[in-house]
Structures are given as structure tokens and as C-alpha cells.
Amino acid sequence: MAAQEDKLKAVISHAKEYGFVFPSSEIYDGLSAAYDYGQLGVELKNNIKNYWWTAMTRMHQNIVGIDASIFMHPTTWKASGHVDAFNDPLIDNKDSKKRYRADVLLEDYMAKSEAKITKEIEKAKNRFGDAFDEEQFRATNPNVLRAQEKIDAVKTRMKVALEESDLEGLKQLIEDCEIADPETGSRNWTDVRQFNLMFKTELGAVSGDAGIIYLRPETAQGIFVNFLNVQKTGRMKLPFGIAQIGKAFRNEIIARQFIFRMREFEQMEMQYFVKPGTEMEWYNYWKNERIKWHNALGLGEGNYKFHDHLKLAHYANAACDIEFNFPMGFKELEGIHSRTDFDLKKHEEFSGKKLRYFDPETNESFVPYVIETSIGLDRMFLAVLSSSFVEEKLEDGSERTVLRIPAALAPVKVAVLPLVKKDGLPEKAKEIVDLLKLDFNLQYDDKDAIGRRYRRQDAIGTPICVTVDNETLEDNCVTIRHRDSMQQERIPIADLHEAVRKVVALNKYF
Ligand code: ATP
């Protein structure tokens, strides 16, 4: 745990030191759980968006994008169920005055038992070596069985309590598990209460309740209310999808763990409209597509896990998360939900307008079913940053900090470095800058020894450094150095553009 926390701290301070992420309004001591993306952060973020947008829209002829407004008619949120049901169960500790999500306290409690099991298994693995049979060990070892029984019992009670909104039951479970305030150890809890996560604000010209509007807690509803607009104007045929990237706002009870849980964040969501009855087929299709998208980046297949939902949201008939191995453990990165026809039907009901698809083949009109994929852009940013952050010991005994960011996502693609700041080398280097700058985000750097300049580029994840030396003036060749292998090769300037393109092109991921 300590090592994991240290890793997160190291990532946060690296992100700040190199201009990826700053605390918001820092000169006023910051605002809790709000962050600003700096000069490199915005590039990384844009590249992630571009990877997602390309995968969704360009690679699928039947998916188009929109950009809906953040403010929506307030009835939208009545219809979607958010006004009545977008709640988290919260509990306060009377001694520390700290507020927690009751379900998160229980999940952390179960994770501890899970960690105990993993430890037992690791120990046994070391003891038995190749002969070790994990399945048999899990089925017979008394310590593992006891821990697993405990987890299963808590899981079942929590599921029932959440499904039945049994807040007393949740509190009882917390007491029965003897869960204490993680910060102070106190077990003096209040009752569990429901807390609505939507931010409210007021429209300028209207006073009182009539003027209340919400900051959208998800981007999805902007897609649903535009379903017919897009279907008709785009002449879309089922199945088809609408993708959107945009801000969402949730008044999270505890916002923490850096950019993992914020009150203002960005989502990349896609709603895929399908014929009723085909939804499970498409649900499985999208589970597969999405994990492929993640795995293509090469952050390590073992870093992802599917997690089926215990408690289905009010709109879903199947749902899972893709969890990622963040520095604080496996946590939700993306959700994939089969939302049935819940949203479109509700919008029909509340608006009085028909939101139907007319199938020209069968001459029937019906409300389509929906599969949703929804990923937090900020969480994806943290996944990329934390898993690519490496502190390495090199063969010569020196150390370097390197961000092994997938090349196509790297904020700076190329650094152009004249070996010395004289003899016409800077001028030659600037010619190379002009050759590349339209297509690749690059940096020109002529300060300090070349080794230090390489280190600076490693620390921000630049995949390629191009060095211009005296020979370049004669043979029109440069040395390119690769970030991960640190291998160098000499190539003609005429081949440089193509060499860089090959390394940083997005097409490797498709
Ligand atoms: P959690 O259980 O972590 O609160 P959720 O299940 O409520 O998340 P969804 O409603 O499925 O999340 O939202 C889709 C995605 O939006 C999540 O997978 C996550 O990546 C992202 N997301 C949700 N809440 C936040 C937040 N507060 N800060 C950053 N990203 C978020």
C-alpha cells in the first residue's frame, strides 16, 4: 500500500513539475479536487480524445459525433431519473466529521480481505513452485476459504441493501463489519443518508424554482434528446451510434485520488442504438471492441479487468466496468451498459414527442435499445500517465525518469537538438523544425549538454530526439534517438518525416 501511495505521489509531483497537471487556482491555495491541465497535459488529453474519436467515428462508418450543450432543459433530468435517483449513500463520522460513501467503505473492507487471499496465494506459490495449483488451493485452504466466505457474505448483504435502498441495513452492515473511519479509527457513525450528486444553478432571467437548472452529470442525455435529429438528418439506419466528448459535473461526496475522482471532469461516451432483442449481441461486441482499444496501447493486458456490476443502475439490463490497475489498485476506468429503451421511452413520456425508429424493411416503428460505452477522459489520462511513469537504473549506473507514453499519445513527438549552439547548427536544426512542425508537435532545445537534453525529453515522454551535428552540414544526415531503447541511428534528413511518422502514427493501434 505504501509503495502504491508513493507511486501516486511521485506521479502527481512529476505531472506538476513538467506542466501536465496543476492544482486549480493554486495561488489561492487551490480548490479541492479541481485541477488544470498544463501545456503538456492538454496535448496528451487531446491525443487521447483523438484516439477515441478516431476509433469511434472514423473506424465505424455508422457512428457520428455531436457536441451538445452542458445546460439542458431541466425536465431532461426528471425524465432520466437523475433528479430522483442519482444519489450516493453517505455516512458521516461523528468524531472526525469526515464524510464517506457507505458503499465505498464496504468495498474497501472487502478489498482488504481480497488482498489477504492474494497474499496467501503468493506465499503458497513460492513454497510449492511449479506444482502449485491455485484453483485447488482456493478450494481447500482454510484461511482463504474463511476470507472468501466473509467477502461473499458482505457482498450479498450489500447488494440487497443497495437494491432495496435499505439505508438502515447498510449502516448495520458497516457496524457488523466493525468498519472504522480510515483516518481516525473512530466507529461513531451517523445514519446513512441519500445525497443527490447533481449541481444546481439558476437561469439569469427566471426567479425561484422555475429557474433552476442542472450542470449535466453525464453527457449521455445530450445524445438521447438528439437521437431523432441525428437519425433523420444523417439518414442513419440501425444499428448506429452517436459519440460525444464533453464535460460532466457531479457533486461527489469525497473527491480524491488526484484526477481520478473530480467534481468537474470529462467523459467520452457513445450510445449505440440497436434493434430490441439484439442488445446482448451488441453488448458483447462493444465489450470486445473497447478492451481491444485499451490493449492496443500496450500499457499491459494484465492491467485491465472486467468487473460485472453487482447493482444494476435503474436503466440497465446488463453492465460491466473495465477496471484499470491505477497506483491505488484496480478501479473503474470505463463503463459498458446495456441501457434498454429506458431513456428514449422516458423522454417520449416526459416530452410527449415520439422518439421512434421507422424500419423500412418491416414497416414497423419502435423505440431502439441502447448500448453505451462511457469512459472518463481524466481517468484515461491518469491510466496512461501512471503506467508509463518509470524510474530506471541504466547499465552505466545512472538513473533516468522516463514516461513510456504510447508514441501516438505523447504530447511532444520530436525534439530537435543542435549538438552545439554555433557553427550554423542551430540554423540547420531550425530548417528541420520547419520540415516537421506542421505534422508533429515538437520542441527545439539548444541549452545544456546533449545528455541532459535527452533526459528532459525522456521525462516528458518524447519518443524521438533528432540531433544535428557538424557532419549534418556535410552529409545531410541526423542522428535519431529512440526514447525506450535509447538506441541511436543515423538517417538522411530526407527520410526523417517518414521515420517519425512510422513511430508516432495512430494506425498501429487499429
Ligand atoms: P464511480 O463508480 O467511480 O463513481 P460511476 O460508475 O458513477 O463511477 P459512470 O456513471 O459509469 O461512473 O461514468 C462513466 C465514466 O465516467 C466512469 O467510468 C469514469 O471513468 C468517469 N467518471 C465518473 N465519475 C467521475 C469523476 N467524479 N471524476 C472523473 N471521472 C469520472
Task: Kindly report the pTM of this predicted structure.
Answer: 0.88
Same domain, 242 and 383: yes
- How far apart are the CA of 365 and the centre of ligand 1, in A? 34
Residue 115 one-letter amino acid:
A
User: 229 and 108: one domain?
Assistant: no
**Do 370 and 384 belong to one domain?**
yes
Residue ID of nearest Cα to ligand 1 atom 23: 376
Please indicate, yes or no, if residue 311 is contained in any of the structural domains.
no
Range of the domain at 171: 87-196
Among 332, 338, 339, name the best residue to mutate to test ligand 1's pocket (greatest count of ligand atoms within 8 A of Cβ): 332
Assigned domain for 471 exists: yes
Residue 480 three-state SS: strand
**Which candidate, 455, 479, 476, places its Cα nearest to that of 466?**
479
| Distance, first Cα to last Cα, the chain | 36
216, 374, 380: residue to mutate for ligand 1 pocket, most atoms within 8 A of CB = 374
Does a structural domain hold residue 313? no
Q: Cβ-count burial of 500 within 10 angstroms (0-12 exposed, 13-18 middle, 19+ buried)? A: buried
Report how far ligand 1's centroid is from the alpha carbon of 347 (Å). 23
3-state class of 270 per DSSP? strand
- The pLDDT score that the predictor gives to residue 253 is 81
Q: Write out the E strands in 59-199.
A: 63-65, 87-92, 99-101, 193-196
Residue 189's DSSP bridge partners are: 93
Sign of CA dihedral 249, 253, 259, 260: negative
Q: 71: which 3 cell numbers? A: 445546460
272 plus 181 within the same structural domain: no
Domain boundary among 341, 360, 393: 393
DSSP result, 424-464: THHHHHHHHHHHHTTTS-EEE--SS-HHHHHHHHHHHT-SE
The answer on 423 and 385 residing in a single domain is no
Closest CA to 236 of 271, 211, 212, 286: 271
- Residue 463 CB neighbours (<10 A): 25
The preferred substitution site among 265, 305, 308, 310 for testing ligand 1, maximizing ligand atoms within 8 Å of CB, is 265
For ligand 1, atom 20, the nearest C-alpha belongs to 376
The CATH number of whichever domain residue 226 belongs to comes to 3.30.930.10
> In this structure, which residue's CA is closest to atom 21 in ligand 1?
376
Q: Which of 158, 216, 267 to mutate to test the pocket of ligand 1 (most atoms within 8 A of CB)?
A: 267
CA 255 to each of CA 8, 31, 83, 92, 327: distance values in angstroms, whole numbers, following the listed order: 15, 11, 21, 15, 16
82 lies in the same domain as 95: no
> Residue 181 is part of a domain; what is its CATH number?
3.30.40.230
129: left (phi over 0), alpha (psi -120 to 50) or beta: left
Choose the residue to mutate in 379, 381, 382 for probing ligand 1, maximizing ligand atoms within 8 Å of C-beta: 379
Q: Which atom of ligand 1 is nearest to the CA of 334?
A: 18
Is residue 377 within 8 Å of 409, Cβ to Cβ? no
Residue 38 in domain: yes
Say if residue 115 is in the same domain as residue 216: no
Q: Using an 8 Å Cβ cutoff, are 269 and 223 in contact? A: yes
- Looking at residue 272, its pLDDT comes to 98
Nearest CA among 44, 42, 24, 41 for reference residue 33: 24
Query: Are 238 and 328 part of one and the same domain?
Result: yes
Looking at the fold, whether 287 and 423 belong to one and the same domain comes out as no
Distances from the Cα of 65 to the Cαs of 54, 58, 80, 243, 282, in angstroms? 10, 10, 21, 4, 19
Domain-embedded: residue 386: yes
Give the SS3 label for residue 339.
Answer: strand
Q: How far is the CA of 56 from the centre of ligand 1 (A)?
A: 20
- The amino acid sitting at 453 is R
Q: Residue 457 is part of a domain; what is its CATH number? A: 3.40.50.800
Residue 344, judged by CB atoms within 10 A of its CB (0-12, 13-18, 19+), counts as buried
Residues 28 and 128 grouped into a single domain: no
- Which atom from ligand 1 is nearest to the alpha carbon of 252? 27
Q: Whose CA is nearest to atom 14 of ligand 1?
A: 374
Closest atom of ligand 1 relative to the 250 alpha carbon: 27
Nearest protein CA to atom 22 of ligand 1, as residue = 376
Nearest protein Cα to ligand 1, atom 11: 335
Residue 138 Cα to ligand 1 midpoint, Å, equals 32
Pocket probe for ligand 1: among 261, 266, 336, the residue whose CB has the most ligand atoms within 8 Å is 261
Identify whether residues 92 and 79 lie together within a single domain. Answer: no
Structural domains in the chain (count) = 3
Nearest of 311, 47, 25, 291 to residue 159 by alpha carbon: 311
Residue nearest to atom 18 of ligand 1 (CA): 334
Which residue, of 393, 424, 440, is where some domain finishes? Answer: 393
The residue nearest atom 9 of ligand 1, judged by CA position, is 335
Q: Which residue has the cell 461516451?
A: 269
Instruction: Give the pLDDT confidence score for residue 37 in this predicted structure.
Output: 98
Written as tens digits, the pLDDT of the chain (510 aa) is: 567 778 999 999 999 999 999 999 999 998 988 999 999 999 999 999 999 999 999 999 999 999 999 999 999 999 999 998 888 899 999 999 998 999 999 999 999 999 999 999 999 989 888 888 989 999 999 999 999 999 999 999 999 998 888 999 999 999 999 999 998 999 999 999 999 999 999 887 777 777 889 999 999 999 999 999 999 999 999 999 999 999 999 998 877 789 999 999 999 999 999 999 999 999 999 999 999 999 999 999 999 999 988 767 767 889 999 999 999 999 999 999 999 999 999 999 999 999 999 998 899 999 999 999 999 999 999 999 999 999 999 888 889 999 999 999 999 999 999 999 999 999 999 999 999 999 999 999 999 999 999 999 999 999 999 999 999 999 999 999 999 999 999 999 999 999 999 999 999 999
**Grid coordinates belonging to 507:** 494506425
Q: Residues with beta carbon inside 6 Å of ligand 1?
A: 218, 250, 252, 261-262, 265, 267, 332-335, 374-376, 378-379
Q: What is the 376 CA–ligand 1 centroid distance (Å)?
A: 6
List, in order, residues 6 or more apart from 147 with CB less than 8 Å away: 113, 114, 116, 117, 120
The predicted-structure confidence for 301-325, as pLDDT tens digits, reads as follows 999 999 988 767 767 889 999 999 9
CA of 168 relative to ligand 1 center, distance in Å: 26
> Do 191 and 175 share a structural domain?
yes
Q: What distance in Å separates the CA atoms of residue 323 and residue 333, rounded to the nearest whole number?
A: 5
Q: Which residues contact 337 (CB under 8 A, 6 or more apart)?
A: 313, 315, 316, 318, 319, 371, 372, 374
Residue 205 lies in a domain: no
Q: How much distance in Å is there from the Cα of 49 to the middle of ligand 1?
A: 17
d(CA 149, CA 111): 13
Within a domain: 112: yes
Distance 141 CA to ligand 1 centre (A): 36
Q: How many angstroms does the Cα of residue 120 sit away from the middle of ligand 1?
A: 32
Nearest protein Cα to ligand 1, atom 29: 261
Closest atom of ligand 1 to CA, residue 380: 20
Domain's final residue, options 196, 231, 257: 196
